[in-house]
């Protein structure tokens, strides 16, 4: 169980959240990071080569 | 019973319709078109897989109860798995949505596939929200008291009272998961019937 707890200690969750404010927009840093990660994942999914794609094209 | 009587039976008509629209090789295909070999097509099944973990961990939480998930290390672990599989579920679903929106996945008679996906997304947001207000801790109290005025202003408060823990828990573990599972099943069946939408450059091959 100590092994699992060591994972929990990687990110301290007991502190107050951090927020970014810009005019009427207020967003937590955690949510902003998730949104940026989604955009990055989307772009990478479009451009990253898929394993075996060239082999499948040859067999077509 | 005559042949015409058998033909008129709803079971016969339904079976023939299902056999016509969804033969076994379409329901469980062994190959996919070449264009499916792209990472952007992975996020649909990633969403489905994480939904499986959400349902599985949710069933364990339902069996053991709040005292267990708040008070034991194993309970914390399963509770965290439930939370993080939901995070991955929404993450993958949003990337899946962006990908399908970009390739106009409603083309080729796939409007029902698109709409079942849209409604599943909305039902999942409701399931996520009721999960937050069902945690039975200070976080759920804070979220429900912050949400009550907005929800009540819509007129939905009679059937969706966020301060009623029992009602929110029932929405979370019965009604909304039922809706999400049925809609997801319909969505997957529609994908199997119509096939995976091809990219634009192969638009000429869009099949009904």
B48-107 pLDDT per residue, tens: 999 999 999 999 999 999 999 999 999 999 999 999 999 999 999 999 999 999 999 999
What pLDDT sits at residue B208? 47
What would the two tokens of residue A58 be?
């040859």
User: Does the pLDDT value for residue B202 go beyond 60?
Assistant: no
- pLDDT, position B3: 82
**Residue B22 pLDDT:** 87
By the CB < 8 Å criterion, does A55 face chain B?
no
Q: Which residues of A touch B34 (CB under 8 A)?
A: 53, 56-57, 60
Q: How much is the pLDDT for B205?
A: 53
Q: Kindly give, in sequence order, each residue whose CB lies less than 8 Å from that of residue B196, ignoring residues fewer than 6 positions away.
A: B32, B33, B35, B36, B41
Q: How is chain B split into domains, by residue range?
A: 39-198
Which CATH code fits B39-198? 1.20.810.10
Q: Do B91 and A41 touch (CB under 8 A)?
A: yes
**Of the candidate ranges A46-50, B34-38, B99-103, the one whose mean pLDDT is the lowest:** B34-38
* Backbone φ, ψ for residue A27 (5° rounding): -140, 145
* pLDDT for residue B32: 85
Residue B40: closest CA among chain A residues belongs to which residue? A45
Q: Which of B34, B42, B74 sits opposite A57 (nearest CB)?
A: B34
- Cβ neighbours of A4 in B, within 8 Å: 73, 77
Closest partner CB to B37 (pick from A4, A34, A50): A50
What does the pLDDT look like over B131-141, one tens digit per residue? 999 998 899 99
* CA–CA dist B60, B80 (Å, integer): 12
CA-to-CA separations, B69 to B62, B78, B83, B137, B174, in angstroms, rounded: 10, 7, 12, 11, 19
What's the rounded Cα separation, in Å, for the pair B136 and B145? 13
Chain A within 8 Å of B98 (Cβ-Cβ)? yes
Q: Spell out which residues of chain A touch residue B42, defining contact as CB-CB under 8 Å.
A: 45
Q: Which residue has the higher pLDDT, B74 or A12?
A: B74
Checking if the pLDDT of B191 tops 90, the result is yes
CB contact under 8 A, B38 and A46: yes
Place of tokens 């069996």: B63
For the residues B165-171, what does the mean pLDDT come to?
94
Using a CB–CB cutoff of 8 Å, tell me whether B38 touches chain A.
Answer: yes
Predicted pLDDT of residue B24: 86
Q: How far is B170 from chain A (nearest CA, A)?
A: 28
CA dist B76 and B69 (Å) reads: 5
Whether chain A has a CB inside 8 Å of the CB on B31: the answer is: no
Compute the distance between CA of residue B79 and CA of residue B115 in angstroms, rounded to an integer. 31
Tell whether B34 lies on the interface with A, counting CB pairs under 8 A: yes
pLDDT band at B29 (very low <50, low <70, confident <90, very high): confident
């Amino acid at each position: 169980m100590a092994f699992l707890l060591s994972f929990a200690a990687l990110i301290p969750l007991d502190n107050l959240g951090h927020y970014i404010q810009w005019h009427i927009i207020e967003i937590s840093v955690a949510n902003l990071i998730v949104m940026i990660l989604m955009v990055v994942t989307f772009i990478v999914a479009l451009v990253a080569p898929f394993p075996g794609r060239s082999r499948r094209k040859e067999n077509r | 019973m005559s042949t015409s009587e058998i033909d008129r039976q709803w079971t016969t008509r339904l079976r023939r319709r299902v056999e016509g629209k969804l033969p076994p090789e379409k329901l469980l295909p062994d190959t996919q078109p070449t264009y499916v070999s792209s990472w952007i097509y992975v996020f649909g099944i990633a969403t489905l897989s994480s939904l499986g973990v959400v349902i599985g961990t949710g069933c364990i939480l339902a069996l053991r109860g709040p005292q267990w998930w708040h008070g034991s290390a194993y309970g914390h672990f399963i509770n965290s798995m439930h939370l993080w599989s939901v995070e991955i579920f929404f993450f993958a679903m949003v990337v899946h949505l962006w990908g399908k929106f970009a390739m106009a996945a409603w083309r080729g008679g796939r409007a029902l596939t698109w709409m079942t996906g849209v409604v599943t997304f909305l039902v999942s947001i409701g399931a996520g929200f009721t999960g937050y207000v069902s945690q039975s801790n200070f976080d759920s109290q804070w979220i429900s008291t912050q949400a009550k005025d907005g929800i009540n202003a819509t007129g939905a408060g009679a059937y969706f009272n966020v301060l009623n823990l029992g009602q929110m828990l029932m929405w979370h573990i019965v009604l909304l998961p039922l809706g999400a599972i049925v809609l997801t099943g319909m969505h997957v069946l529609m994908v199997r019937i119509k096939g995976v939408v091809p990219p634009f450059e192969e638009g000429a091959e869009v099949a009904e």
